[in-house]
């Protein structure tokens, strides 16, 4: 009987700790949202595009590359080439030449070419508006599909890249296992109506205030608000 009571007591203690941890996460999330809303009441999509198809192409190109570099390249492409049939006609080699200043351009050119063929063959040249269909396209993963669903179609989504993954760890919003877990945690902590705007706010804030090699979790407004007693730089787990 005594062992059973001790077991229940330990279980209750663990439950209280879990509950307190969740409550603290909720409090931090509210602080983060309040700060971001104040600094970035309006946010623009960082990747320039002419339509949903070119948004998809730009997101694909942005892997391991800055948005600025992508925009500098696509500003010479999209005025003339902005539909799947245009890239099919170009062919892989010409696409490579157009995007050669972007990282892993050969792999990306192959994806763009094959993706364009798939869109023409299976979707009448239009970008599908479901996660399932998007993630079947060549070179399109969950994060890319989430950006297109969010920024292109206005569907509630929370795209998580390595930068958002890092920031969510610094701010105590996730345990940092992987981007999949981080996405689930952020969706749990923030109301759905904020997701599309919030993921952009986090990106802009990280670039401006909570940089990987500058803030280290101890100097920006959000880090100091969420963890006022933190003294040592925090190490984050890679995605």
- Specify if 147 maps to a domain: yes
Q: CB 67: neighbour CB atoms within 10 A? A: 17
Task: Read off the pTM.
Answer: 0.87
Asked whether residue 38 is assigned to any structural domain, the reply reads: no
- Give the pLDDT confidence score for residue 7 in this predicted structure: 52
Q: What is the mean pLDDT of residues 135-158?
A: 96
pLDDT of the residue at 142: 96
236 domain residue, yes or no? no
Specify if 131 maps to a domain.
Answer: yes
Cβ–Cβ under 8 Å, residues 202 and 36: yes
Q: Which pLDDT score, from 0 to 100, does residue 9 have?
A: 46
Task: Assign 64 a pLDDT band (cuts: 50, 70, 90).
Answer: confident
pLDDT for position 177: 85
- pLDDT averaged over the chain? 91
Question: Considering the chain, what percentage of its residues have pLDDT values greater than 90?
Answer: 84
Residue 67 near residue 46 (C-beta atoms within 8 A): yes
Mean pLDDT of 97-114: 96
Q: Which residues contact 39 (CB under 8 A, 6 or more apart)?
A: 201, 205
Instruction: Please report the pLDDT score of residue 1 as a whole number.
Output: 58
Decide if 92 is inside a domain.
Answer: yes
**What is the C-alpha separation between 81 and 97, in angstroms, rounded?**
14
Examine residue 63 and state whether it is found in any structural domain, yes or no. yes
Residues 17-36, mean pLDDT to the nearest whole number: 78
The residue range of the domain holding 90 is 52-152
CATH code for the domain of 91: 1.10.340.30
What is the predicted pLDDT for the residue at 239?
76
Residue 90's contacts (CB-CB under 8 Å, 6 or more residues apart) are 81, 98, 113
What percent of the chain lies above the pLDDT cut of 70? 90
Cβ contacts of 214 within 8 Å, gap of 6 or more:
none
- pLDDT of 226 > 90? The answer is yes
Q: Distances in Å between the alpha carbon of 222 and those of 35, 39, 83, 170?
A: 7, 11, 41, 9
Residue 106 lies in a domain: yes
pLDDT (tens digit, 9 = 90+) per residue, 163-194?
A: 999 999 999 999 978 999 999 999 999 999 99
Asked whether residue 140 is assigned to any structural domain, the reply reads yes
pLDDT in tens, 10-19: 445 554 444 3
**Span of 17-26, 57-66, 102-111, 185-194 with lowest mean pLDDT:** 17-26
Catalytic positions, written as ranges: 143, 161
State the total domains in the chain: 1
């Amino acid at each position: 009987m005594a062992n059973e009571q001790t077991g229940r007591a330990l279980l209750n203690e663990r439950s209280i700790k879990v509950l307190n941890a969740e409550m603290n996460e909720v409090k931090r999330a509210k602080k983060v949202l309040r700060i971001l809303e104040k600094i970035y009441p309006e946010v623009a999509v960082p990747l320039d595009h002419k339509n949903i198809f070119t948004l998809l192409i730009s997101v694909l190109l942005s892997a391991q590359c800055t948005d600025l570099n992508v925009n500098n390249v696509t500003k010479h492409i999209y005025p003339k080439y902005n539909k799947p049939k245009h890239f099919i006609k170009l062919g892989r080699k010409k696409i490579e030449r157009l995007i050669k200043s972007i990282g892993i351009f050969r792999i990306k050119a192959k994806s763009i070419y094959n993706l364009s063929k798939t869109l023409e063959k299976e979707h009448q040249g239009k970008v599908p508006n479901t996660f399932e269909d998007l993630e079947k396209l060549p070179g399109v993963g969950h994060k890319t599909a989430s950006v297109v669903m969010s920024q292109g179609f206005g569907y509630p989504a929370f795209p998580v890249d390595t930068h958002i993954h890092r920031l969510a760890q610094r701010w105590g919003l996730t345990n940092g296992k992987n981007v999949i877990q981080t996405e689930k945690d952020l969706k749990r902590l923030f109301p759905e109506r904020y997701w599309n705007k919030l993921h952009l706010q986090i990106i802009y804030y990280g670039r401006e205030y909570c940089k990987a090699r500058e803030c280290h979790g101890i100097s920006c407004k959000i880090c100091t608000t969420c963890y006022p007693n933190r003294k040592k730089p925090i190490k984050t787990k890679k995605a």
